Chains A and B, each alone.
Chain A
Amino acid sequence: MRQDLTIIANLVKPTSRVLDLACGDGELLHYLEEHKSVTGYGLEIDAEQITACIARGVDVLEQDLNRGLSNFADGSYDTVIMTQALQVLRRQDLALDEMLRVGKEAIVTFPNFAHWTNRFYLSWKGQMPMSKTLPHQWYDTPNIHLFTFKDFEALCMEKGIKILDRAVGDFAYQSHWKARLWPNLFGEVAIYRIGR
């Protein structure tokens, strides 16, 4: 299992109701169902991923997250999760609003665009950074809104969103003293637990 999923699993309370946005092949939800007895649904738009969820026995709903979560009632889930997908949405601010309307709290993970390798890449090569976390070309990337830890925290501040937990690490989510000391420069990816 992916390292970030293990960390997320530790942040989810047993038997809670979970909505996993952009749930991929359902690996996380399946793990949470097996080990934490959670109930809930994954939301996904990719056809093959949806089939993979169904094959695993994970309940998945085909839904475009850019159209919001209006089909889910306020506070109807304990935790709304979104891993490595916030940056592909059209409006991150509205997405966070929706997640915290439907969920009592939310867990998000995203790549940090201010990681030193990206800064180095851009300043020395003069080109949009590419890496293991950001493998796409600027013209075909699904990551249409790249942002940094600082950006994210500023947005949370502006919206009155509380940051309840934060884990910063490299691509494999290994925490390093440098990332702990100076996350926006040395942290590659982060997991945030947020609430109102």
Chain B
Amino acid sequence: MTASSTGEIFPPPNSVGLVKPEICQFTQPLQLASGNVLHDWQLMIETYGKLNADASNAVLICHALSGNHHAAGYHSEEDTKPGWWDAYIGPGKPIDTRHFFVVALNNLGGCHGSTGPSSINPVTGKPFGPDFPVLTVSDWVDSQALLADRLGIQQWAAVVGGSLGGMQVLEWSLRYPQRLGHAVVVASSPKLSAQNIAFNEVARQAIMSDPDFRDGRYQEAEVIPRHGVALARMVGHITYLSEHSMGEKFGRDLRTDKLNYGYDVDFQVESYLRYQGKSFSERFDANTYLLMTKALDYFDPAEAFDGDLVKALAPIQCRFLVVSFSTDWRFSPRHSEELVNALTAAQKRVSYARIKSPHGHDAFLIPDQRYEAVFTAYMQRVAKETRQGEVS
């Protein structure tokens, strides 16, 4: 422990502390749902905790639309913010790194170090841009299975994820039923509704209609479609919050003390959204955003079974914890309950909690007493099983 420049003790208590991302290179060809094949590819990963002798304590974290491998801890003592799920990963936290070996990655197609649209295409020597193949949730899960092989993990103690991450968890349970003991699906859905797809389409249109998008070849032209990405993020951000939480945070507060009778920022909420959009556009690749939203839209494991989700879930062998949040309207509790009802109809093991929270979809990232209690209770059962595994 050291004291940082601000005088606070680093790392904060219950933090995994300083973490370092690693690159995993793969030369196994990855057959994609689109028919394309990725030959040389890499994943950026982070791990927390220690893998035990029989590799039974590994937990995979699947990220959501704009997430990445940096799920917990800090990259430097000067970091102002920890990883995106730091509230739930660390010593003494629900995903307790004293028991679990936690693996987080940046998905393929991402823009934080894993092979994606902004990587160099070895064939042309230029960035892939729009030529990077559209990926699906099953492609991600296949790549994560190869990562598990690489790390010597035959079976995950649990695969865990929120939102789009939860879809990867569900796909894991269907595609590799023997390779996970538990599935934790938070604020997610077995498929998008028309409204969800509509919001994604608005986001894509915002990006693609930016003059700087240049049909996705903006990198070669050395420009960034900032405006489009910012707009996409603004729309997305509204759907992550609840009317209540936005009201609590901003109300009708004005940025200055009077109305301007013009079309620039009057209200605090406008200024906040612009800031969120702008900062996002500086760190997130436009083509990756398009790709991630398409993967969301395409996900529908029931589709191959004439829309019968119960039939689709037949291969499942693991146990499930499903969690939803009362004010989430992006993936409302109804989405989670659709999954839960199909799981019970398929006679699969599942527990379900509907957490009362004012925070909308974002609730899955935010500390909450009941959510933590449920999550901790479940993960402690998982930890107990892995310890029993060590004894036998």
List chain A positions with a Cβ less than 8 A from chain B: 17, 39, 41, 47, 50-55, 57-63, 71-73, 76
Contacts of A55 in B (CB 8 A): 377, 380-381
Q: How does the 8 Å CB contact mask read for B312-330 relative to A, with 1 for contact and 0 for none?
A: 0000000101000000000
- Complex: how many Å from CA A59 to CA B348? 10
| Chain A, Cβ-Cβ closest to B384 | A57
The size of the chain B interface, using a CB distance under 8 A, is: 21
Question: Is B353's CB within 8 Å of the partner chain A?
Answer: yes
Residues of B contacting A: mostly: helix
Q: A53-B351, A61-B351 are in contact. Are A41 and B344 (CB under 8 A)?
A: yes
- Flag if B350 contacts A61 (CB, 8 Å): yes
- The listed residue (B321, B341, B347, B373) touching A71 by CB distance below 8 A is B341
Closest chain B residue, CB of each to CB of A73: B345
Bound together, the chains give a CA A59 to CA B349 distance in angstroms of 7
Known contacts A55-B377, A61-B350, A71-B341; can you find 15 more A-B pairs with CB under 8 A? A41-B350, A47-B353, A47-B370, A50-B353, A51-B373, A52-B377, A54-B351, A54-B381, A58-B351, A59-B319, A59-B350, A60-B351, A60-B352, A61-B344, A73-B345
Q: B341: nearest residue on chain A (CB-CB)?
A: A71
A25 to chain B minimum Cβ distance, whole angstroms, is 11
| Interface residue SS majority, chain A | mixed
Among B352, B370, B373, point to the contact of A61 (Cβ < 8 A).
B352
User: Contact at B344–A72, with CB atoms within 8 Å?
Assistant: yes
| Known contacts A51-B373, A59-B351, A62-B354; is-contact A71 B381 (Cβ 8 Å) | no
CB of B321 within 8 A of CB of A54, answer: yes
Closest to B321 in A: A54
Closest 10 A-B residue pairs measured CB to CB? Answer: A55-B377, A54-B377, A71-B341, A61-B352, A62-B354, A51-B373, A51-B377, A60-B351, A62-B353, A54-B378
Shortest distance in angstroms between A34's beta carbon and chain B's nearest beta carbon? 15
Q: Which of B295-352 contact A (CB under 8 A)?
A: 319, 321, 337, 340-341, 344-345, 347, 349-352
Q: In the bound complex, what is the Cα–Cα distance between A60 and B351 (angstroms)?
A: 5
Alpha-carbon separation in the docked complex, A53 to B377 (Å):
9
| One of A47, A52, A59, A76 near B345 (C-beta < 8 A) | A76
Q: Please pick, from B319, B341, B347, B352, the residue contacting A62 in the complex, using a CB distance under 8 A.
A: B352
8 residue pairs A–B, Cβ–Cβ below 8 Å: A50-B374, A53-B351, A54-B351, A54-B381, A61-B340, A61-B350, A62-B354, A71-B344
Name B319's closest neighbour in chain A (CB-CB).
A59
Question: What's the Cα separation between A184 and B380 when bound, in Å?
Answer: 46
Residue in chain A with minimal CB distance to B374: A51
Known: A59-B350, A59-B351, A62-B353. A54 touches B374 (CB 8 A): yes
Closest to B380 in A: A55
A48 to chain B: closest residue by CB: B373
Closest A residue by C-beta to B356: A47
Would B381 and A57 count as touching, CB distance under 8 A? yes
User: How distant is A75 from chain B, measured CB to nearest CB, in Å?
Assistant: 13
Complex contacts, A76 vs chain B, CB 8 Å: 345
Cβ contacts B363-377/A at 8 Å (1 or 0 each) = 000000010011001
How far is A59 from B318 in the complex, measured between Cα atoms in Å?
13
Q: How far is the CB of A54 from chain B (nearest CB, A)?
A: 4
How far apart are the CA atoms of A71 and B354 in the complex, in Å? 16
Contacting residues, chain A, for B345 (C-beta < 8 A): 72-73, 76
The answer to whether B380 touches A71, judged by C-beta atoms less than 8 angstroms apart, is no
User: Taking the nearest CB of chain B, how far is it from the CB of A22, in angstroms?
Assistant: 15
Cα of A47 to Cα of B323 in the assembled complex, Å? 13
Among residues of A, the one whose C-beta sits closest to the C-beta of B381 is A57
A39 and B347 contact, Cβ closer than 8 Å, known pairs A50-B353, A55-B380, A61-B352 = yes
Q: How far is the CA of A67 from the CA of B321 in the complex (A)?
A: 22
B378 vs chain A, min Cβ distance (A):
5
| Chain B: minimal CB distance from A102 (Å) | 11
In the complex, residue of chain B having the shortest beta-carbon distance to the beta carbon of A76:
B345
Q: Which residue of B lies closest to A39 (CB)?
A: B347
Contacts of B373 in A (CB 8 A): 47, 51
Q: Which residues of A contact B352 (CB under 8 A)?
A: 60-63
CA distance A188 to B344 in the complex (A): 36
- Residue among B341, B347, B353 with the highest chain A CB neighbour number at 10 A: B353
B232: shortest Cβ distance to chain A, in Å?
34
Nearest CB of B to A71, in Å: 4
Measured between alpha carbons, how far is A50 from B321 in the docked complex, in Å? 12
B14 to A: closest C-beta gap in Å = 20
- Which residues does chain A contribute within 8 Å of B350, judged by CB atoms? 41, 59, 61
Among A17, A50, A61, A73: residue with most chain B CB under 10 A: A61
Q: In the complex, A76→B275 CA distance in Å?
A: 53
Task: A54 to B352: give the CA distance in the assembly, Å.
Answer: 9
CB of A68 to closest CB in B, whole Å: 13
| Set of chain B residues within 8 Å of A73, measured between Cβ atoms | 345
